[in-house]
Amino acid sequence: MKKSELSLRTDEVLIHEGQTNARLFTLLSGWAFRFKTLSDGRRQILSFLLPGDFIGVQQKMADAAAHGVTTLTDAVFCVFQRDALWTLHRQSPSMGFNVTWLTAHEESLVDDNLLSVGRRNAQERIATLLIQLYKRMAAIQTDNTTEDGVPFPLTQQHIADSLGLSLVHTNKTLRKLEQLGLHRIENGRLYLRDVMALERMADLYGDGRPPQRPLV
Amino acid sequence: MKKSELSLRTDEVLIHEGQTNARLFTLLSGWAFRFKTLSDGRRQILSFLLPGDFIGVQQKMADAAAHGVTTLTDAVFCVFQRDALWTLHRQSPSMGFNVTWLTAHEESLVDDNLLSVGRRNAQERIATLLIQLYKRMAAIQTDNTTEDGVPFPLTQQHIADSLGLSLVHTNKTLRKLEQLGLHRIENGRLYLRDVMALERMADLYGDGRPPQRPLV
DNA sequence: CGAAATGTTGACTATATTCAAGGCAAGTGG
DNA sequence: CCACTTGCCTTGAATATAGTCAACATTTCG
């Protein structure tokens, strides 16, 4: 496929909020997140982006209001041409199908988060987030280390903005879960100490193991 | 395209929560909504479905946890074959492209709602919802009646479940906005009395006029 | 080393939830 | 036709969860 590569460092902007004709990207390595803000600065993180995720389909659609994308770590992106989305569908239906798949999958992540933010309390939200990020990371990791930790570059501010909580309340809840022995975050890595208890708290139904995903 | 039709009455289930191999649908007429529930019954409405919306792409993807779909009014659906999604991409790239477009558009609706639920207070959430539904309906209506009202089949329970609020608080907030002269809901129709004030309250940026949408 | 970002904690406040009770309108069965 | 039920809307009072403010500790980084 036609492309080039783009490297960004931690906390740099890939797509500005409101930008409507951004190019298409794939995240090759590192973490990023999508977000929206209100005019007074309140920010909502919509979803976290991990390697393999597709970026920019919504902006291509020149839709209602767009969202921004910023890196959480140093990251490398695969850059597509401006009209790549249409070209891709025409030249390779199977690739087009995969794009639809990835877009739908991306939406289901947002659905999950909306359920949390709308209907779970702070403890439940955090438990849910920790489990989901842990599972997504575990599914991606090439080195199948059975030891607990996965990389975890989020600050508490990111967690708060993702879950619709204040920073202070996020901190207190996080500490409480840690004191209950459910998890630990240390040196940018997340360790789940009591997965059963976390899952009970999160009330996960279909236990959501990440499905096989196509590569684009 | 290959299909049949399906008619449901108000408050009937199109797709059960957890169902993973549902067929593909398009909503031809009427209203419906997508939702998830927690095991203790707390429900979150993810998005409202209006004529022209595409249904079931996520379930096709056998993803994490699926969502349910229920009608809000009598509704008619266009039913596709089981493997329609792949066939469609292969036989008609432009249709495949449209499906991607619709899926991305659907996600942006969820994004908007997540911003509301995560970062807006009750007044702001309700103002945002009223404006968005009003605009979506207005964009669809064939008879270009300039008079205010659009159909509005939601109960306050639906509004509450969509915005992550309790029924009681939704009711009180709704009444306050009505007393401020911002809107009126009567006989299943929604009237916006002071659009400017509502938009100020909702803090809409890109003012989100609905884009041209492809038909599937 | 000092500055800036991030994390931690307590006290106070506010927004939203829960509980409880009642009203109104539409539909049902005797 | 009328009691009776049911679903939806409305309201007030008590409670709880989460937000705000403020201060300080700790870590990171230039």
> Is B143 in the A-facing interface, judged by CB distances under 8 Å?
no
Report pLDDT for A206: 44
Which superfamily, per CATH, for B4-92?
Answer: Jelly Rolls (2.60.120.10)
Answer whether B4-92 and B114-202 agree in fold.
no
How many Å does it take to go from CA B121 to C1' C16?
A: 9
Please, are residues A190 and A134 in contact by the beta-carbon 8 Å criterion? yes
How does residue A210 score in pLDDT terms, banded at 50, 70 and 90? very low
How does residue A142 score in pLDDT terms, banded at 50, 70 and 90? confident
Mean pLDDT of A38-65: 86
Inform me whether the pLDDT recorded for A163 exceeds 60: yes
Give one DSSP letter per residue of B53-122, joined into a string: -EE-HHHHTT-SS--EEEESSSEEEEEPPTTHHHHHHHH-HHHHHHHHHHHHHHHHHHHHHHHHHHH--H
Residue spans of chain B under pLDDT 70: 1-2, 60-65, 144, 146, 148, 205-216
At B22 the three-state DSSP class reads coil
Query: Which of the four CATH numbers 2.30.30.110, 1.10.10.10, 1.20.120.530, 3.40.50.2000 does domain B114-202 have?
Result: 1.10.10.10
* Angle at alpha carbon of residue B62, lines to B61 and B63, rounded to 5°: 85
User: Is strand D within 7 Å of residue A169 (CB)?
Assistant: yes
Beta pairing partners, A214: none
Strands B32-37 and B43-49: antiparallel
Per-residue 3-state assignment (H helix, E strand, C coil) for A58-86: HHHCCCCCCCEEEECCCEEEEEECCCHHH
Q: Which residues of B165-195 are buried (b: 16+ CB within 10 A; e: fewer)?
A: beeeebeebbeebeeeebbebeeeebebeee
Which superfamily, per CATH, for A3-114?
Answer: Jelly Rolls (2.60.120.10)
pLDDT in tens, B49-70: 999 999 988 776 665 568 999 9
Chain A, chain B: beta-carbon pairs less than 8 Å apart: 183
Nearest-Å Rg of the Cα atoms of chain B is: 18
Higher pLDDT, B215 or A108: A108
Inform me whether the pLDDT recorded for A63 exceeds 70: no
* φ, ψ (nearest 5 deg) of residue A129: -60, -45
Please, are residues B115 and B163 in contact by the beta-carbon 8 Å criterion? no
Please, are residues B5 and B87 in contact by the beta-carbon 8 Å criterion? no
The CA-based diameter of chain A, rounded to the nearest angstrom, is 55
Mean pLDDT of A144-157: 85
Taking the complete model, does pTM exceed 0.95, yes or no?
A: no
A120-202 placed in CATH 3.40.50.920 = no
> Is B64 in the A-facing interface, judged by CB distances under 8 Å?
yes
> Is B114 in the A-facing interface, judged by CB distances under 8 Å?
yes
The two structure tokens encoding residue A117: 């933010």
How many Å does it take to go from CA B186 to C1' C24?
A: 14
Nearest CA in chain A to B60: A101
C-alpha separations of B51 from A103, A211, B68, B77 in Å:
21, 30, 18, 9
Task: Return the domain boundaries, chain B.
Answer: 4-92, 114-202
Per-residue 3-state assignment (H helix, E strand, C coil) for chain A: CCEEEEEECCCCEEECCCCCCCCCEEEEECCEEEEEECCCCCEEEEEEECCCCEECHHHHCCCCCCCEEEECCCEEEEEECCCHHHHHHHHCHHHHHHHHHHHHHHHHHHHHHHHHHHHCCHHHHHHHHHHHHHHHHHHHCCCCCCCCCEECCCCHHHHHHHHCCCHHHHHHHHHHHHHCCCEEEECCEEEECCHHHHHHHHCCCCCCCCCCCCCC
How many Å does it take to go from CA A23 to C1' C24?
A: 56
How does residue A115 score in pLDDT terms, banded at 50, 70 and 90? very high
User: Is strand D within 7 Å of residue B167 (CB)?
Assistant: yes
Report pLDDT for A13: 94
Per mean pLDDT, which range of A13-22, A36-45, A75-84, B32-41 is the poorest? Answer: A13-22
Torsion of CA A112, A115, A116, A117, to 10 degrees: 120
What secondary structure letter does DSSP report for B207?
T
Q: What residue has its CA nearest to the C1' of C7?
A: A171
Inform me whether the pLDDT recorded for A20 exceeds 90: no
What secondary structure letter does DSSP report for B148?
S
Nearest CA in chain A to B115: A44
Which among A59, A53, A62 is positioned nearest to A29, based on CA atoms? A53
Please, are residues B66 and B20 in contact by the beta-carbon 8 Å criterion? yes
At B161 the three-state DSSP class reads helix
Residue numbers in A near B119 (CB within 8 A): 38, 42-44, 164
Please, are residues A181 and A194 in contact by the beta-carbon 8 Å criterion? yes
How does residue A3 score in pLDDT terms, banded at 50, 70 and 90? confident
What secondary structure letter does DSSP report for B209?
P
Inform me whether the pLDDT recorded for A1 exceeds 60: yes
Q: Which amino acid does the sequence have at B76? A: V
Report pLDDT for A86: 87
Strands B13-15 and B68-71: antiparallel
> Is B93 in the A-facing interface, judged by CB distances under 8 Å?
yes
Report pLDDT for B210: 42
CB contact under 8 A, A97 and B113: no
Report pLDDT for A205: 60
Residue numbers in A near B66 (CB within 8 A): 206
Report pLDDT for A2: 67
Which among B82, B87, B50, B83 is positioned nearest to B69, based on CA atoms? B50
